[in-house]
A and B are shown apart, each in its own frame.
Chain A
Amino acid sequence: MPTGAAGSSTSPHSPVGQGSDIALAVDQLSKSFHANGRVVQALDKVSFSVRHGRVTGLIGPDSAGKTTLMRLAAGLLVPDSGSITVLGKNAATESLAVQGSIGYMPQRFGLYEDLTVQENLDLYADLQGVAVARRADRYRELLQMAGLEPFTRRLAGQLSGGMKQKLGLACSLVRQPALLLLDEPTVGVDPLSRRELWAIVNRLVRNEHTTVVLSTAYLDEAERCDEVFLLHDGRLLDQGDPKVLRDRMQGRTFAVTTESLSKRSLQAHVSQAPGVVDALIQGEHVRLVMAEATTPRLDALLPGIENARITAVPPRYEDNFIALLKSQPQPDGAPAVKPALSRVLSSARTAQGEAIIKVDQLERRFGSFRAVKNVSFAVSRGEVFGLLGANGAGKTTTFRMLCGLLPASGGSLKVAGVDLRHAPAAARARIGYMSQKFSLYGHISVIENLRFFSSAYGLSRKRAEQRMQWAMAEFALAELADAASGDLSLGYKQRLALACALMHEPDILFLDEPTSGVDPLARREFWQRINTLAEQGVTIMVTTHFMEEAEYCDRLAIMVAGEILTTGTPTAIKREARTEAVSDPSMEDAFIGLIEAQTRADNQTVPSP
């Protein structure tokens, strides 16, 4: 084989790498990629080691280098310098031997969608050289673990996101591997499936003594690991037991409430106060992370504000992460983040209270598939309204109908007083839309993108010039005006996309998964802008699968399988989910509770096939 030394003389029988306690060792590992004439340093002299029989997390936002590290460990990439040793073997030179003893699940699960569940398992069993005699037992174990027993004859493409994820996991486990690598296994699947995946991972470690290394961008998952390695921009920032890391923040986290300010202005106020590292809206209060472990004085925090209350709250792993990131120098000399938009719109829209979006019995069919069914809700002017749900829940389809991009199959929808089913063009002039992938033209520059969107919205030349200057100033894009937008970092792409969607000063802003993939700091900055917009009377509709972001919304609707399960304020939704076992449920608990209730209802009404 052209892979050279990896050769054919591999596949030893003896269990590998058990001589030492280390399953995976990374030493001074560097890897760069060349793209469009630029060099991207994906990993920069990273060193760490992973111990056997534990769950280890690689934590970091997109482009932190997680996937590159996973692929290097699997022998799919060759390092520029440094080495990576997997189960005692060099992953670059003995890649075939490494591949013969690990399990690996890539980001998109690596399933053949036109093969059935059973056929996928058979294929991977063949490829992994699992003896035919042992397959029946192993299949039974894996299918039971993944809850896929009733679906062996179903095509993988027809499984839900969560089921695909579990099938992908089962396929990577057909030959009981010593080390399991999972590359972002929980992206885009619903919280229930996430929780189930974690249960499987824990069982593997406990019962089969498998070592698990997984990467994730969800910071709340870090706390479920035995050890985490924190990657940022290709460098290792921090490492250790997440609980220990979290406890470093002991005494530095507080919740503030007051009746005299809206939660958004409260957040804006306290985030400017000295000593505040992070301020986030969480339900009705604002959660603070302080630079030091002393209870902040209210008069320093909120000068001139009466009846504010402050209570200590337990720290989370994320607090440590944010504090760490904020102490880092800004990468590539980016201009300091502006705290908020001074003035987004030339005229603030103050009239509040009236319903600006009204949706009634909305339905959308694709063939016989009902992607959206019986969806009804109303959004008032100046409200931040969230649609929460997993991939495939129907959020994007609902959005496209609201923007007039997709005709509805049934029901009525009015946006800004215009019936979208009859006059979509009139409604479109009053809305801004920012799509999942930041629909920018990658090959043209920042300023050209802005100019294009101004002309697409029919702005006069003078007006367009004003708005472009505004966008450059507000979003700190001036220095990058001539850079091709495809070369921008994800955070800047997000800023530019938002600027483009605001060129015509819309009444309503639709944000479809606006923060997926961007790092937590960029996400915070983005939400600050959104809050400012809302304060100025712009109505915001946002979809997200980050449970934590749901807390920033005034009200939200939880969607599962094309239907809205519940609508209400974050606090009310969480209160509904309160049970004896869970006295203070998180948004994720509430979400899972709703899905489970729904499943129970389905099982009662629909006889199982």
Chain B
Amino acid sequence: MTEPEPRHDSAAPGTFGMRLRGLIRKEFLQIFRDPSSIAIAFLMPVVLLLLFGYGVSLDSESIPVALVVEQPSADTTSFTAAFHKSRYFVPTSYATTRAAETDMMAGKVNAIVVLRQDFAQRLYRPDSAPIQLIVNGVDANTARIISGYVEGVWGTWLEHVALARGESLATPVQIEQRVWFNSELRSRNFLVPGLIAIIMTLIGALLTAMVMAREWERGTMEALMVTPVTMSEVILGKLIPYFILGMGGLALSVAMALWLFNVPLRGSSWMLFGASALFMLTSLGMGLFISTLGKSQFVAGQIAIITTFLPAFLLSGFIFDIGSMPAVVQTITHVVAARYYVAILQTVFLAGNVWSVILPNLLGLGVLTLIFLGLTYRKSRKRLE
């Protein structure tokens, strides 16, 4: 052969930086051109925060309550007056228990307080129950709050009576209630931090799983794989842009929490952002892992919602207290990354840098991050099967 051999190039070594930069730039171009990514990262936080900040309140105020006084006396009048003064109750007087029950059935009142005929006698007997409380227990949470409030009203009233008569109270223990951390009992103060966990889950897990699946669906993954790119580069090329996007969403949510909803931030902001960065990694790890299982956008989206978004909503302690869940469910919450993050968020926002709470939760997040990113790395092979 005399003809000069034409030059056919092989990929040059050491172009890791070039390949990664190319992938990251591509991802950002796609993010900015695809309105749905922007919507999930920036519009969804605003909508969720406005909805939960203004629309949803777990505070119980102005609870309709039926008062049944079987034999009015000076004592009963003064006790019912205490209900009228309370901002938690809107009392209505009923002549009979039966009538009150009917209204409770109809959902017009949430609780019935019955003062028996012998209210006055029982009042001064040490081991007796002078009032009867019937609570609509359909919504267990509200029921518990109502019974707590009624006890509070009862206790305060007893104190007043005792003071007025100059007697010592028959109750052996004095309860003086003081609420810490969220002294105004504003549900917004713990909902908004919890919501940040939901938002980060959406960006990290749902969005990432979907965009990864999109590459499979559109056949671009196949083309990517036949370049000298390694799977670590493909994974990093998704991790880095969506990490940045997620932290952007976080900054937006924190800003809204602090300046729109006046949620206090008692811990340090570096702690907030540090823990959030770790959670973002866990969330991205879950998203990427899901995308190794479901390679169509529909399936990936379904898996992401069921395994990350719903648990973050229901099992993280964001709305429902983990301590009051059945033991089995409590055990399950340990694999829900949002659980650790919600605990950290609520502590950092409302209590401060309480290391005894934050450290174990950081540890939990760290372990889950390693598990999910490790699994992703193991499962991601440069193969189509």
Q: Tell me the A residues contacting B by CB distance below 8 Å.
A: 1-3, 6, 8, 10-16, 18, 33, 71, 74-78, 95-97, 99-102, 104-115, 119, 122-131, 155, 168, 171-172, 175-178, 208-210
B230–A8 touching, CB < 8 Å = yes
Q: Is the CB of B384 within 8 A of A129?
A: no
CA distance A168 to B229 in the complex (A): 18
Q: Given that A11-B228, A96-B230 are known contacts, is A105 also in contact with B8, CB under 8 Å in the complex?
A: no
**Cβ-defined partner of A127 (8 Å) among B222, B227, B231:** B227
CA of A99 to CA of B382 in the docked complex: distance in angstroms?
A: 11
Contact indicator A128/B383 (Cβ below 8 Å): no
Choice from A106, A115, A129 contacting B228 with Cβ under 8 Å: A129
- Given known pairs A76-B382, A106-B219, the reply for A2 and B13 (CB within 8 Å) is no
Cα distance, A123 to B231, chains bound together (Å): 16
For B167, the chain A residues whose CB sits under 8 A away are: none
A76 touching B6 by the CB < 8 A rule?
A: no
- How many Å lie between the Cα of A18 and that of B3 in the bound state? 14
Report which of B30, B222, B225, B383 forms a contact with A112, defined as CB distance below 8 A: B30
Find the B residue at minimum CB distance from A127. B227
Whether the pair A123, B225 counts as a contact (CB closer than 8 A) is: no
* B178 adjacent to chain A (CB < 8 Å): no
Nearest A residue to B226, CB-CB:
A104
Which residue of the partner chain, among A11, A126, A178, A210, contacts B22 with CB atoms under 8 Å?
A126
Contacts A1-B232, A15-B8, A177-B8: A99 and B220 contacting too (C-beta < 8 A)? no
Q: How many residues of B contact A (CB 8 A)?
A: 43
Contact A99 B227 (CB under 8 A): yes
Can you pick out 21 interface pairs between chain A and chain B where the beta carbons lie within 8 Å of each other? A1-B231, A3-B383, A13-B12, A14-B10, A16-B10, A76-B383, A76-B384, A97-B10, A99-B228, A104-B226, A106-B223, A109-B223, A110-B220, A114-B34, A115-B30, A123-B23, A127-B224, A128-B11, A128-B228, A168-B223, A177-B8
Whether the Cβ atoms of B227 and A128 lie closer than 8 Å is: yes
User: Counting CB contacts under 8 A, is B139 at the interface?
Assistant: no
Q: Known contacts A2-B380, A76-B384, A100-B228; is A126 also within 8 Å of B34 by CB?
A: no
Taking the nearest CB of chain A, how far is it from the CB of B31, in angstroms? 10
A176 touches B9 (CB 8 A): yes
On whether the beta carbons of A114 and B220 are closer than 8 Å, the reply is no
Interface assignment of B165: CB less than 8 Å from any CB of chain A: no
Interface residues of B in 193-225 (CB under 8 A from A): 218-220, 222-225
Shortest CB–CB separation between residue A85 and chain B, in angstroms?
16
B18 at the interface (CB under 8 A from A): yes
Question: Would you give the shortest CB distance from B232 to chain A, in whole angstroms?
Answer: 7
Q: Is A122 a contact partner of B8 (Cβ separation < 8 A)?
A: no
Are the C-beta atoms of B30 and A175 separated by less than 8 Å?
no
B11 in contact with A129 (CB, 8 Å): yes
Find out whether the CB atom of B228 lies under 8 angstroms from the CB atom of A127: yes
Q: Is the CB of A101 within 8 A of B380?
A: no
B385 adjacent to chain A (CB < 8 Å): yes
Question: Shortest distance in angstroms between B39's beta carbon and chain A's nearest beta carbon?
Answer: 15
Determine whether the beta carbon of A1 is less than 8 Å from that of B385: no
Report if B98 contacts A (CB, 8 A): no
A99 touches B226 (CB 8 A): yes
A209 touching B6, Cβ below 8 Å = yes
Shortest C-beta distance, B237 to chain A (Å), equals 10
Q: Are A11 and B10 in contact (CB under 8 A)?
A: yes
Docked-complex contact A176 and B8, CB < 8 angstroms? yes
Using known A-B contacts A74-B226, A76-B383, A128-B228, determine if residue A101 contacts B29 with beta carbons closer than 8 Å: no
Min CB–CB distance B380 → chain A (angstroms): 7
Contact A6/B7 with A74-B226, A96-B230, A126-B19 known, Cβ cut-off 8 Å: no
A2 with B231, Cβ < 8 A, contacts A15-B10, A114-B30 known: yes
Q: Which of B7, B26, B226, B230 contacts A115 (CB 8 A)?
A: B26
Indicate if the CB atoms of A113 and B8 lie closer than 8 Å: no
**B173 → A minimal CB distance (Å):** 64
Known: A115-B26, A115-B33. 17 other contacts (CB 8 A): A3-B231, A8-B230, A15-B8, A33-B385, A76-B222, A76-B225, A76-B382, A76-B384, A77-B383, A77-B385, A99-B11, A99-B227, A104-B223, A111-B223, A114-B30, A114-B33, A130-B9
On whether the beta carbons of B15 and A129 are closer than 8 Å, the reply is yes
> Cα distance A489–B354 when bound, in Å?
65
Question: What's the least CB distance linking A333 to chain B, in Å?
Answer: 29
B125 on interface, CB distance cutoff 8 Å:
no
User: Once the chains bind, are B11 and A106 in contact (CB under 8 Å)?
Assistant: no
B1-43 toward A: CB 8 Å interface, digit per residue (1/0)? 0000111111111010011011101100110011000000000
- Give every chain B residue within 8 A of A2 (Cβ-Cβ): 231, 377-378, 380-381
**Least distance between B112 CB and chain A CB atoms (Å):** 55
Specify which of B25, B226, B228, B381 lies most central, judged by the most chain A CB atoms within 10 Å of its CB: B226
B34 contacts which chain A residues (CB < 8 A)?
Answer: 114
Q: Which residue of B lies closest to A209 (CB)?
A: B6
Minimum CB distance partner of B237 in chain A: A127
Provide the residues of chain B in CB contact with A178, threshold 8 Å: 8
Cα separation A60 to B6 with both chains bound (whole Å): 32
Closest to B228 in A: A100
Q: What residue of chain A has the Cβ atom nearest to residue B233's Cβ?
A: A127
Q: Complex: how many Å from CA A175 to CA B225?
A: 15
Q: For the complex, give the distance between the alpha carbons of A105 and B226 in Å.
A: 9
Instruction: Give the Cβ gap from B78 to chain A, nearest Cβ, in Å.
Output: 72
Residues of A within 8 A of B6 (CB): 208-209
Q: From known contacts A2-B381, A114-B33, A129-B228, infer whether A15 and B7 are also in contact, taking CB-CB under 8 Å.
A: yes
Q: Which residue of B lies closest to A168 (CB)?
A: B223
Q: By the criterion CB–CB under 8 Å, are B22 and A12 in contact?
A: no
Q: Which residues of A contact B11 (CB under 8 A)?
A: 11, 99-101, 128-129, 175
CB-defined contacts of B22 to chain A, threshold 8 Å: 122-123, 125-127
Residue on B nearest A104 in the bound complex, by CB = B226
Distance from B382 Cβ to chain A, minimum over Cβ atoms (Å): 5
Q: Which of A2, A96, A124 has most B Cβ within 10 Å?
A: A2
A171 to B22 CA separation, bound complex (whole angstroms): 14
Bound state CA distance, A95 and B15, in angstroms? 17
* Bound Cα distance from A584 to B380, whole angstroms: 55
Does A129 lie within 8 Å of B231, measured CB to CB?
A: no
B224 CB contacts on chain A under 8 angstroms: 110, 127
Q: B218 to chain A: which residues have CB within 8 Å? A: 108, 113
Partner of A101, one of B8, B21, B23, B377: B8
Q: A361 to B170: give the CA distance in the assembly, Å.
A: 96
Chain B neighbourhood of A107, CB < 8 A: 219
Find A111's partner among B220, B232, B381 (CB 8 Å cutoff): B220
Contact B220 A112 (CB under 8 A): yes
B380: A residues at CB distance < 8 A = 2
Determine the distance from Cα of A12 to Cα of B25 in the docked complex, in whole angstroms: 27
Query: What is the CB-to-nearest-CB distance from B312 to chain A, in angstroms, rounded to a whole number?
Result: 29
Closest A residue to B221 using CB positions: A110
| Contact present for B26 and A6 (CB under 8 Å) | no
- In contact, A129 and B12 (Cβ under 8 angstroms): yes
How many Å from the CB of B25 to the closest CB on chain A? Answer: 8
B residues in contact with A131, CB < 8 Å: 12
Question: Assuming the A-B contacts A2-B378, A129-B11, are A102 and B226 also in contact, with contact meaning beta carbons closer than 8 angstroms in the complex?
Answer: yes
Q: Are A175 and B9 in contact (CB under 8 A)?
A: yes
A33 and B26 CA atoms in complex are apart in Å by 33
Question: What residue in chain B is nearest A115 (Cβ atoms)?
Answer: B29
> Do B382 and A6 have beta carbons less than 8 Å apart?
yes
Q: For residue B10, which residues in chain A have a CB less than 8 angstroms away from its CB? A: 11-16, 97, 100-101
In the complex, A12→B13 CA distance in Å? 7
In the complex, the answer to whether B26 meets A123 with C-beta atoms within 8 Å is yes
Q: Which B residues are in CB contact (< 8 Å) with A74? A: 225-226
Contacts of A127 in B (CB 8 A): 19, 22-23, 224, 227-229
CA distance A178 to B8 in the complex (A): 5
A-B residue pairs, 4 tightest by C-beta: A110-B223, A126-B22, A129-B15, A178-B8
Give the shortest distance, in Å, between B86 (CB) and chain A (any CB): 59
Closest to B222 in A: A106
Name which of B10, B13, B21, B219 has the most chain A CB atoms within 10 A of its CB: B10
Cα-based distance from A202 to B9 in the complex (angstroms): 20
In the complex, what residues of B have CB within 8 A of residue A128's CB?
11, 227-228
Which residue of chain A is the closest to B34 with respect to CB atoms? A114
